[in-house]
Each structure stands twice: as structure tokens, then as C-alpha cells.
Structure 1
């Protein structure tokens, strides 16, 4: 039995590796925009995206644990995903600098016919970053493919004053949620640790 990560996120892979797991990496190919268009709520959206990713991969790995995740930032009642461009990153940071928002990370963990779906919610307190730092951060390219246009574990950490909640969920995958899923399947976490 293995853990299969249905994601190409280097941050999610880093979390699992740091936690003693060497997963099979099999990124899911799903139409995220189409799923977002038919989802009606905040948690529903990130959970639907996570479920689509896990389900797209799980049939290829029926005897393994498959993890699908998706993160979005909730600011002013609006969900925000990856900014993709420098310009969008700068605009996002102008809106969120010095403010508080909530990062939602949807998880779908499957094992055979069993499925565990949950969302990690973490409060993010953004620093009042200067315009020069916002532009410099966008120019690095780091935040372009990150939900909320930031990282906690790299350069973006300079601009996060504090968080309230699970740090691993902010990075992209909640170890506590995965542990709860495994326990619900009757599986111990330590079964996946490598020597």
C-alpha cells in the first residue's frame, strides 16, 4: 500500500517527504474552471476540486491511498485561486496587504471504495507590505502558481505576520486531516514511513 499524490505541487510533495512518506506522484488532469463554475459555495468549491483530482487518479491505484487537494483564499467573500501573472499578483497583494483572509484547503483522500472529504481552514494575517516589496515578490514568479498569491514556507513568509490554524494546510496539504482520514480507514500513519 502506497500514498499517491494526485498533484504536481512541489509544496505538497515536500510536506509528505518531510513527514517520512515518499509518495507516488500522479498529477490529475481535471478541468478546474468547469468545476468552479458549477460549485456554489466556498468549502464546496475546494472540496469538489479535491474530489475531482482524487477520483481522476484513484481508479488507477485501487489498492493505494490517493490524496487530492485544492486551496483557495477567501477574501471579502470571494474565493481566489492562483493569480498566474505578475500583474494579477500585484493587484491581489494590493488588496490583501495588511489584512486578514482565510485559506481553504479542500482534501479528498480515498482508499478503495472509502472516501474522506474535509476542508482545512486557516486564518492568514498579511503584513502591510510595501509597494516595492509587492512588485519585487511578484517579479520572483514564486506566487504566480500559489493560491492566494503567497507561500508560507519561502519568500512569501516575509509577508505573513501570523496564521491561526494548521501550517501544513497553508502550505497545501493538512497532515492532521490526512491522519484522520487514514484512521477512519483503519490504517496507521506509520505504515507509510520510509526508513
Structure 2
């Protein structure tokens, strides 16, 4: 049975997978997101939000995949963890592993909105978003590390889920109360749909899971392209 490694520290993404019966192992990527986007912009020109999240998802997945492969090579060569300057990984031999990386951004009024820097930024953001709508883009990238005899393809591919979100027209007091919870400071767009921010999302058009940060239907499709049926990942 293939094992899924989630290259993200997002509790919401982890919970989404677990709710669907998939228990991934987590290895957080160490990419510099600003540098990744700057390099991509230099190579390809200005990126639209749907492409930006895909570039970041790819960078995260491939960085973790590279570390796991290095750890496997070191183990085969008899090199102890850290002897070559690398950090130890919390999983065993990745011969049956598929890595998935994700990244999310909110597009609102033509601007890209990530995590707010502080409470005041989150407050002003909500004052501009209330009563309006935005598009939550979530990039997904998968890397197949499985050995050939485990069905590995060596494939690396991805896609973006984009969902339109309509926000409630809430007053300043309600915004302040939501900001005071601290939740908006830790999520793209300064809101959640599956947490305390849920009452302030009036409706969506698209995949609910994509707003959480990991689209289950899209991930299922990507895995199918690697020859991995979703049912093979579910914990009995």
C-alpha cells in the first residue's frame, strides 16, 4: 500500500485527509517562499495567483521529496543521520511514498492575499472583504518516490483548485471579535471556512475542500494519473 507524505504543517490539511480516511506522515518543507516566487517571476514573468500557488506547491513537494531521497541514499550507504549535514527524517525508507505539497492564496479585487502580518492588517483586510467575494486558489503537487517494484512511475505533476467565496457583510465589532481569536492571523486570506470563520462565509462556488487548503477530488485525480487509486490510501 502506498504511503502519503504531506509536505505541509497545516492542521487543516492534515484534518481534511484524516476525515477522508487517509493518515499521512508529515514532513514540513523548508523552502523560502519569497525566493521561490521571485525566481519564478524572473524566469516566467509575472505570475497569476493560480500559477503562483502551483509553483509554491511544487517547490514544497520537491524539496521534501529530495530530502527523503537523500535520507534513503544515506541509509543505503551506511551514513548516519546528520553526518552529511542533512537533518533526520521522521519516516522510514520512502520506497513506497508519494509526497504531496500544497499552497493557498486568496485573490481579492485583483490582489493576492496571503496570511496577514498582524492583527491590524487582518482587520483592514476584513473591512475590505466584507460583503464582497474573492477566489481561493490552492495549488497541489505530487511526487512519486515509489520504487519500480512498488508501482512507482517517477511522476511529478500538479494542478490548482480555485473556489469563489462570498463573505458576509459583518460590522466592525464582529470583525474585531474574530480578529481577537487569533485565527485569521494564521491562514491565507485571514479566514477559515471550517473553523471560527465559517459563519462569515455566506456561500462558495467550487470545492469546499479547496478553501480549506487541500482539494480531495483534485488530489484523487492527480493520484489516479500516477496509477494510485484513492481507496489504496485509506486506513482500514
The interval holding the TM-score normalised by the smaller chain is over 0.9
Instruction: Specify the SS of the correspondent of 2:158.
Output: strand
Q: 2:103 aligns with which of 44, 56, 70?
A: 70
Measure, in 2, the Cα distance between the counterparts of 1:49 and 1:69.
7
Unaligned runs of 5+ in 2: 69-93, 146-153
Unaligned runs of 5+ in 1: none
Q: How does 1:64-103 map to 2 (within 5 A)?
A: 64-103=97-136
Measure, in 1, the Cα distance between the counterparts of 2:118 and 2:6.
26
Q: Provide the alpha-carbon RMSD of the alignment.
A: 1.1
CA contact 1:62–1:111 (8 Å) conserved in 2: no
TM-score where L is the length of structure 1: 0.96
Higher mean C-alpha deviation, range 108-117 or range 64-73: 108-117
Measure, in 1, the Cα distance between the counterparts of 2:183 and 2:216.
23
Q: How does 1:176-191 map to 2 (within 5 A)?
A: 176-191=217-232
Measure, in 1, the Cα distance between the counterparts of 2:174 and 2:37.
31
Shift of 1:62: 5.4
CA contact 2:13–2:212 (8 Å) conserved in 1: yes
Which one has the largest radius of gyration? 2
Aligned in 2, Cα 1:62/1:93: closer, same or farther, shift over 3 Å? farther
Aligned to 1:47: 54
Aligned in 2, Cα 1:62/1:104: closer, same or farther, shift over 3 Å? farther
Q: How many residues get paired? A: 195
Instruction: Specify the SS of the correspondent of 2:164.
Output: strand
